Amino acid sequence: MKPQLLLVGLGNPGATYDRTRHNAGFAALDHLSSEFGEGEWKPMQKFNAVIQEGRIVTAPILLVKPQTYMNLSGDSIVKLLRFYKLEPGKQLIVFTDDVDLPLGTIRFREKGGPGTHNGMKSIVDSIGEGFARLRLGIGPQPKGKDLAAWVLSKMTAADAKSLKSAIDQTPEIVRKFVLGE
């Protein structure tokens, strides 16, 4: 199946990173999988990712979780785009955490820079800025806390609930993107 759209969630692989702020992109993909996924997640070595086929209305999609670790996400995405001959500006949405957005907020943009996010920098370095991204607010970073340690720490139940309320909005945003609304 050739997908018409790649939905890529950024995160770090492994149980150590489950429920961390930095894995908000993976959490969004898990939710989108429950809405649009068909079948099981499958490891795909040639893309260094786990993937799941799916469908939005009649459009075939591919849900993707790169297994490269966050800061090398672009490597996996560029391989997928080349293999399937997809255009990033029309056929890719990246889901990522954003420390600069308040916890539980969501921001969708069809293009733009990477901001301070190293995973997004990797993607921009690999394919340029012309792709859609949905940023999930995990901020603000508490004063005096090391940024890397904080984004890689487990969320409290209250923070996880706030993030989930943002993630719950993602299927409708994706559906509108596919339908051109």
Which CATH number characterizes residue 58's domain? 3.40.50.1470
Which residue from 46, 58, 54 is spatially nearest to 9, judged by alpha carbons?
A: 54
pLDDT of 33 reads: 98
Report the mean per-residue pLDDT for the chain.
Answer: 97
Residue 125 scores a pLDDT above 90? yes
pLDDT of 43 reads: 98
- How confident is residue 154, by pLDDT bands cut at 50, 70 and 90? very high
Q: How large a percentage of the chain has pLDDT more than 70?
A: 100
Contact 76, 13 (CB under 8 A): no
pLDDT of 1 reads: 85
137-154 mean pLDDT: 95
For the chain, the domain total comes to: 1
User: Would you name the residues annotated as active-site residues?
Assistant: 22
Two structure tokens written together for 15:
């149980």
Return left, alpha or beta for 122; rule: phi > 0 is left, psi -120 to 50 is alpha, else beta.
alpha
Cα separation, 99 vs 176, whole angstroms = 25
pLDDT of 181 reads: 84
Residue 115 scores a pLDDT above 90? no
pLDDT of 92 reads: 98
Residue 121's domain spans which residues? Answer: 5-179
Tell me whether residue 105 is exposed, middle or buried, using C-beta atoms within 10 angstroms of its C-beta: 0 to 12, 13 to 18, 19 or more: middle
